[in-house]
Structure 1
Amino acid sequence: MRTTFVVVNYNGEKYIEKCIESILSQTCKKFRILVVDNASTDGSIQIIRNIADRSSKVEVIRNDENVGFAKAVNQALELIESGLIALVNNDVFLDSRWLEEMVKSARSDLRAGIFASRIYFLNGLINSTGHAIYRGLAVMERGFFERDLGQYDESCYVAGACAAAALYRRKLFEDIGFFDEDYFMYNEDVDLSLRAILRGWKIRYVPTAIAYHVHSASTGFLSDFSVYYNSRNWVWSVLKNAPRRILIKELPFFLLRNLTSVIYFCLNGKFTVIKSKIDAIKELGEVFKKREIVRRGKRFERFEEYIDGFGWKVLKNVWLSKAERCDNNIDKVRV
């Protein structure tokens, strides 16, 4: 099974070379790499071109402006004919067996259209083992900032995949459509995963497919930029995809989570969260049009099976102090 890697780059000078080299070092060699550069202003585009000159597996698309992650991926999807598509962030480094393990899982589970990685931060703590949905329809990374004590060693179905390092079937995109370009970036993987579930696809977590993630290298972890787009786009993902009866049941908790996040971020000087909620509300007319399209194509009814408690532990880890999450040294990673 042939795979096309898609790497979206924006000012990734610090990490892009190691990212691409980790892909080129895969034990499974049936792939090519398509790098979409969003008008980077640093030296990363030259680094990419130098690698492309050395390797026939690497191709480059250069945009004239930063069109965002979702649109950049969609540009690549329009050109891809391979049966499998791997998305890898420009600040992610893959274990050499990542693709081999993903392809093995794709061959053995034809019901799954998305495959999630075991992703670590560079300090060894867990970044993601797939998505989980909690009360209030909060979609979070399983295991976020936990120590790996073997609690996520088993392959299973999950509620979504972190697109920093994930594998997709081309047939899935043909069935449910591409990423929602209105998101620009952040939470577009949540939206896609929810749409996939509602269409009857499964999402499999593959614990042996290991990746390492710097996390928000281009935008900054919990920066004003990331807070705005994450906060706005989560609201859209819920209102666009959650089945009516689930949305009504979870609405009080959904509103409470929005309120507490606004209070938390404002207390920490991130007032862009207020604008994010206002802008989310302004576009509800368009969101509800998309919701109707999702509703008409729905094949899966038991959405409540994916809701798993309140996720207070995950929420606490999301709001760790800066000092507790600063140990992210690239030199510790060996791929």
Structure 2
Amino acid sequence: MAEGKRIVTTPLISLITINYKQAQVTCDMLESTKALTYPRFEVIVVDNASKDDLAERLQQGNYPNVKLVVSPENLGFSGGNNLGIQHAKGDYYFLLNNDTIVTPNLLEQLLIPFSQHPEVGVVCPKIRFHDQPNIIQYAGYHPLNSFTGRTWAIGLMEPDQGQHDKPGPTWFAHGAAMLVSRDVLKRAGSLDDSFFLYYEELDWSARIRRAGFQIYYQPDALIYHRESMSVGKANAMKVYYHTRNRLWFMRRNVTGFSLLVFYLYYFCLALPKALIQYMLPWQPAYLKAVKDAIIWNLTHTTKPPTSVSMPVAIAGN
């Protein structure tokens, strides 16, 4: 397999995962990696200032190829993965959520598109829900709706009957599992730390595609995902970062008329709807999260993207 000028017959894969106060969940994922059949991979666990018993669990669990990197502060998803990349030695970086379970031939399958299509920079597996193992969470992404700032996963909540088993390019990577080549970081950079949590993989995907790479969906690779274990199904922090980063993502990646329409849609429809939803049951913490997210965007500036606006998909909101 060629990568730049170097021939790598069996490339080293650096599997990077983040732990935040979920030592047992992280160890469950690491246990599943023991069944991986790929012969050359390292595992880097970044602990985001958890102060839990992860180190002791790693010693007791017999994980000889695991390197623990402890951050003195919580760097979020973006910063945690970037810290892991700094410690990685691999030819490819496999960013994997700690709340996932892998399947044995996962890494071999993820590597295949890189050898078949030189323009591929990122490969993502099919993702099913851990608690509903035949229900799809991700089989690629639809294009961004530039008017609403929304996209949605192909196959979401569908029973897996093979209807999404065709591999091919897709619009966005899924943050739960993405195999990334070294060349991507050289040309597109790494995850942007400003996102901290949510939308960071969408922003990175947009930059990766602007750099000339394809993002590829590989259905023959499979993982199972315990969704939203790190921050819960709904809380103020999730509301804050979803609100803040939806605006931040659009400001960084959409321009012109599409961005104007988005502002009109968001501030005249989407935001009032959210405020009403939080006011009726009286959730002041959520209302404060929305206010803080708007203020953050008013006090942070970003340079416009160098490329044209993304294609519009009218369906969905």
Whether TM-score is above 0.5 comes out as yes
Pick closer, same or farther for the CA change 1:265–1:285 going to 2, 3 Å: closer
Residue number among 127, 130, 134 corresponding to 1:119 in the alignment: 127
Q: TM-score, normalised on structure 2?
A: 0.85
* C-alpha contact (below 8 Å) 2:93/2:181 kept by paired residues: yes
Residue number among 284, 288, 311 corresponding to 2:297 in the alignment: 284
Q: What is the aligned partner in structure 1 of residue 21 from structure 2? A: 11
Q: What is the aligned partner in structure 2 of residue 93 from structure 1? A: 101
> Identity across aligned pairs (percent)?
25
Pick closer, same or farther for the CA change 1:35–1:164 going to 2, 3 Å: same
Which one has the bigger helix percentage?
Answer: 1
Quick one: distance in 2 between partners of 1:113 and 1:271?
Answer: 43
Pick closer, same or farther for the CA change 1:177–1:283 going to 2, 3 Å: farther
Quick one: distance in 2 between partners of 1:169 and 1:247?
Answer: 31
- Cα deviation for residue 173 of structure 1 reads 1.6
Q: What is the aligned partner in structure 1 of residue 85 from structure 2? A: 77
Q: TM-score, normalised on structure 1?
A: 0.81
- Cα deviation for residue 180 of structure 1 reads 1.6
Residue number among 301, 306, 310 corresponding to 1:303 in the alignment: 310
Superposition pairs of residues 1-335 of structure 1, within 5 angstroms: 1-51=11-61, 54-122=62-130, 123-124=132-133, 125-132=135-142, 133-134=144-145, 135-255=147-267, 256-267=269-280, 271-284=284-297, 288-289=301-302, 291-292=303-304, 294-295=305-306, 298=307, 301=308, 303-304=310-311, 307-311=312-316
- Cα deviation for residue 235 of structure 1 reads 1.4
Number of residue-to-residue matches in the alignment: 302
Deviation track 1:156-212 (CA, whole Å, cap 9, x = no partner) reads 222211111111112112212221212222221111112222333211111111111
- Cα deviation for residue 245 of structure 1 reads 4.0
Quick one: distance in 1 between partners of 2:283 and 2:81?
Answer: 29
* CA root-mean-square deviation: 2.4
* C-alpha contact (below 8 Å) 2:172/2:205 kept by paired residues: yes
Deviation track 1:262-311 (CA, whole Å, cap 9, x = no partner) reads 4345556555554444334334367543x33x32xx3xx4721xx33322
Q: Match of 2:41, as an amino acid?
A: F
- Cα deviation for residue 247 of structure 1 reads 2.1
* More divergent stretch after superposition (163-172 vs 122-131): 122-131
Q: Match of 2:291, as an amino acid?
A: I
* More divergent stretch after superposition (81-90 vs 280-289): 280-289
* More divergent stretch after superposition (195-204 vs 130-139): 130-139
Q: What is the aligned partner in structure 2 of residue 333 from structure 1? A: none
Unaligned residue ranges in structure 2 (runs of 5+) = 1-10
- Cα deviation for residue 118 of structure 1 reads 0.9
- Cα deviation for residue 130 of structure 1 reads 2.8
Quick one: distance in 1 between partners of 2:254 and 2:38?
Answer: 38
* C-alpha contact (below 8 Å) 2:244/2:296 kept by paired residues: no
Quick one: distance in 1 between partners of 2:266 and 2:316?
Answer: 13
Q: Match of 1:86, as an amino acid?
A: F
* C-alpha contact (below 8 Å) 2:13/2:40 kept by paired residues: yes
Q: Match of 1:309, as an amino acid?
A: I
